[in-house]
Amino acid sequence: MNLGERLSEFFSFGWEFLDAPLFSSLLVMLVILALAAVIGLLASRADPRKPSKGLLFLAEWGYEKLEGFVQENMGAAMLNYLPYFLAMVPYCGLAFLVGLTGLPSVIDWMAAPLSMAVIMFVTIHFTAVRYQKWGYFSRYTSPIFFWLPINLITMWTPIISVSMRLFGNCLSGTIIIGLVQWALTGLGQSLFPMMSGDSAGAIFAPIPMGVLNLYFGLFSAYVQTTVYSFLCALWFAGERPEDMPSPAIEEGRGRTLEAANA
């Protein structure tokens, strides 16, 4: 398929033009939405005087972990970014794990990590405009105006860095698994020449392939989700001036003054 035919697919609608990983990505989103709905229903019916159990307990534990992560790496003033991490962290983790079920992998489909990187990029610049106002545009002419073309090019670094990091790490695992399977199949054929390729591969491949799938699925999911979260937190927090007062602190001061005056 040449470039022109590939580009024409973007303007064609139909089930035959949709990539299989897209359905895996939509399935991950549906799972997250279903879990959110179930957790919300359980929370609305739970007795606050009793300790949580089961799924609600796990949800509260995860919420507290992410809340502590945001507060520690971004500050209490940016806790309103917690919903971003509540949405993106589960998606990133499940997108890595969905391949273990036999469904098409999501992260080694370039559209998925690219979309995650674009969402992060838009949020970075939204945060910059929100806190810096008109001072946001000074980054493009710093340190001198002639740096404008260079700054306009380097501003796209987060998209390239994050999308290539997620895509490359997942694709490397897929390639390693494929090479090991090919090598074990060749070993089986050399030792048992009377057997076909699939049958020979079934002798040595199942256990090593299972271990590698678990390693590149579970371990990569944890590491890459953690790295993605830290990059988002650091880039978001970097757009807020350090000398800007925290709304939470200012609110606390106001309450203290009100109590003193009373």
> Which of 170 and 95 is assigned the larger pLDDT?
95
Distances (CA, A) of 126 to 86, 202, 244: 18, 52, 17
Q: Write the DSSP assignment of 94-129 as a string of letters.
A: HHHHGGGGTSPPSTTSTHHHHHHHHHHHHHHHHHHH
Distances (CA, A) of 77 to 5, 71, 121: 49, 8, 20
d(CA 94, CA 257): 47
For 102-106, 114-118, 206-210, which range has the lowest pLDDT when averaged over its residues?
206-210
With a cut of 80, say whether residue 15 has pLDDT above it.
no
Distances (CA, A) of 250 to 36, 45, 77, 259: 33, 35, 10, 14
Q: What is the pTM of this model?
A: 0.76
With a cut of 60, say whether residue 255 has pLDDT above it.
no
With a cut of 90, say whether residue 30 has pLDDT above it.
yes
Query: What's the pLDDT score for residue 253?
Result: 42
Model confidence band, residue 32 (pLDDT cutoffs 50, 70, 90)? very high
Annotate 114-136 with b (16+ C-beta within 10 A) or e (fewer).
bebbebbbebbeebbeeebeeee
Most confident of 83-97, 204-218, 229-243: 83-97
Model confidence band, residue 111 (pLDDT cutoffs 50, 70, 90)? confident
Kindly state the percentage of the chain with pLDDT values over 70: 79
For 1-10, 49-58, 97-106, 169-178, which range has the lowest pLDDT when averaged over its residues?
1-10
The tally of CA atoms less than 13 A away on the side-chain side of residue 105 is 23
Model confidence band, residue 6 (pLDDT cutoffs 50, 70, 90)? low
Query: What's the pLDDT score for residue 122?
Result: 92
Average pLDDT over residues 149-168: 85
With a cut of 90, say whether residue 179 has pLDDT above it.
no
Comparing CA positions, the residue from 8, 157, 21, 150 lying closest to residue 96 is 21
Query: What's the pLDDT score for residue 118?
Result: 92
Quick check: helix, strand or coil at residue 144? coil
With a cut of 90, say whether residue 91 has pLDDT above it.
yes
